[in-house]
Structure 1
Amino acid sequence: MVQTVQSADGTTIAYEQAGSGAPLVIVGGALNNRQSAAALVPPLAGDFTVITYDRRGRGDSTDTPPYAVDREIEDLRALADAAGGPVHLYGHSSGAILCLEAAAAGVSVRKIAVYEPPYFTHHVRDEPWEVFANKVKTLADTGHGDQAVEAFMRHAGVRFDERVKQEPWWPAVVALAPTLHYDLTLEADGVVPEERFGSITAPVLALYGDASPDWAVASAAAVATSVKDGHQGVIPGHGHDVPPEALVPFLIGFFHE
């Protein structure tokens, strides 16, 4: 059943919960909504009260411009308060960055697991971050969501095939194009904010797949060393799109330690 909570600026955040035990909030990355994490819920719900939600501007959640990272942190704070916090957090990709920023901002957190937050400290970009972020935003704002999604996917290293535009799920992905700017704002200059993350006291597990590019390894290492209680983990045989059966044992083991 879909439930809602009001964020500090009046935005309505839609979420679902299942299971019992300590609350665990799953935070999706770019082009994800709460259904994107559906396959994670059943194997986790036996150990935790699993909360999946639509980040602002997606699915059944509303939005209140202008966008700011602080507003998404307030959304997570509202969810944690509704769950009776403190909560465990698991974030994938840009959702991982949001988890870390929320913890640094003082959201009530027990433990945080992140999978491949897109920090590209040692990665050479094709163009400056600000230029690319503004290009994607302009495309989405002017009715060219399909081009915005394609540009973002290529930026993320996806081997883009034009035939995906004929897939039945493509229109739903394009509908999320206006939120790509939010994910790029979270990514910012691609450098781990070590001073800010140094205030995080909750244990953090930074995960990556051994089939992922070098940036994912460097990102996990940088995150783990920037926080007070950081750990790294590698998932063999997988890349950025890690399947639930490979990921869940790491999450259950870490959150139950």
Structure 2
Amino acid sequence: MQAQLMSTHTVASADGTTIGYRKLGSGSPIVLVHGSMSTGEQWLGVAEHLAQAHTVYIMDRRGRGLSADAEDYSLGTESDDIKALLAVAGEGAALLGHSYGAICTLEAVRTGAAVSSLVLYEPPLPIDAPTAGAALADYAAAVEAGDGDKAMRVAAEHFLRISPEETEGLAASPLWAGMVELSPTWTRELSEIDLTAVLVEEYSALSVSTLLLVGEVSPSHLVGASRHLGQKLPNATETVFPGQNHFVHVMDPAGTAEAIAAFLRT
């Protein structure tokens, strides 16, 4: 695989907030939107592969990485940020969102963003019950006390809904330190996720061509949300990654990129 030159840029969102992004490759454009507790850097491996045939734009969502922040926050501001980057990418851009980033992309399209296709990797929509619910208070208290490790353990049990053994494995991985550092950014995002319960049916009716990426061993509520969309969306296909979970883009960036590229070629 030929290495791609990467450059960094910024664009102003509707409220004036500076949104940073990385650009690499050439060809039809695709915008990548990362999930909670991460930055766009988590998608660099996938982007390197996609850049062989596409111009890839990897945004840092507001409040982290290359991007600034603002006092006012909502799913609407996230949607505006995505629309600002889509305007840079130009007509015919595809749009990918991971986890909460996938909810942000759904909201962008619901509110008028024009995209050629949509890739959703396990949006944590509150299909049967709130994603955060009452446990959000314990999480927020740990964050307020400056105990990011405790906050992440609350999150692992109640939001990620993984086993104690899986939690310890995640805590021992290179991902944990970054998650702990970014734990304050998740409080407001979790609040917004639970508010989307009234929007699920609108998301489920979007007509854009959509690829659902699902890890075979991802938490059941994430698989369930994807399956709900798969049954409702009028123009959706699904790719399941055997033996993988919510972080297949980190574990197998080449395989993730190939699944996306194959969809974009159809």
TM-score for the superposition, normalised by structure 2:
0.84
1:1-257 aligned at under 5 Å gives the runs 1-122=7-128, 129-155=132-158, 156-158=160-162, 159-161=166-168, 164=171, 171-188=177-194, 191=197, 193-242=199-248, 243-257=252-266
**Structure 1 67/208 Cα, relative in aligned 2: closer, same or farther at 3 Å?**
same
Instruction: Report the Cα distance in structure 2 between the residues aligned to 1:223 and 1:163, rounded to whole angstroms.
Output: 28
Q: Which amino acid aligns with 1:200?
A: L
Instruction: Report the Cα distance in structure 2 between the residues aligned to 1:240 and 1:16, rounded to whole angstroms.
Output: 23
Q: Extract unaligned runs of 5+ from structure 1.
A: none
Instruction: Report the Cα distance in structure 2 between the residues aligned to 1:28 and 1:154, rounded to whole angstroms.
Output: 22
Does the 8 Å contact 2:127/2:200 carry over to 1?
Answer: no
Instruction: Report the Cα distance in structure 2 between the residues aligned to 1:50 and 1:163, rounded to whole angstroms.
Output: 28
Instruction: Report the Cα distance in structure 1 between the residues aligned to 2:178 and 2:167, rounded to whole angstroms.
Output: 17
Aligned residues: 253
Does the 8 Å contact 2:19/2:62 carry over to 1?
Answer: yes
Q: Which amino acid aligns with 2:254?
A: E
Does the 8 Å contact 1:88/1:109 carry over to 2?
Answer: yes
Instruction: Report the Cα distance in structure 2 between the residues aligned to 1:148 and 1:33, rounded to whole angstroms.
Output: 19
- Fraction of identical pairs, as percent: 31
Does the 8 Å contact 2:204/2:232 carry over to 1?
Answer: yes
Instruction: Report the Cα distance in structure 1 between the residues aligned to 2:92 and 2:188, rounded to whole angstroms.
Output: 25
**Structure 1 83/188 Cα, relative in aligned 2: closer, same or farther at 3 Å?**
same
Instruction: Report the Cα distance in structure 2 between the residues aligned to 1:183 and 1:9, rounded to whole angstroms.
Output: 18
TM-superposed CA distance for 1:108, in Å, is 1.9
Q: Extract unaligned runs of 5+ from structure 2.
A: 1-6
**Structure 1 104/183 Cα, relative in aligned 2: closer, same or farther at 3 Å?**
same
**Structure 1 42/122 Cα, relative in aligned 2: closer, same or farther at 3 Å?**
same
TM-score for the superposition, normalised by structure 1:
0.87
TM-superposed CA distance for 1:19, in Å, is 0.4
Q: Which amino acid aligns with 1:219?
A: A
Root-mean-square deviation over aligned CA pairs: 2.6
Does the 8 Å contact 2:46/2:257 carry over to 1?
Answer: yes
Does the 8 Å contact 2:47/2:257 carry over to 1?
Answer: no
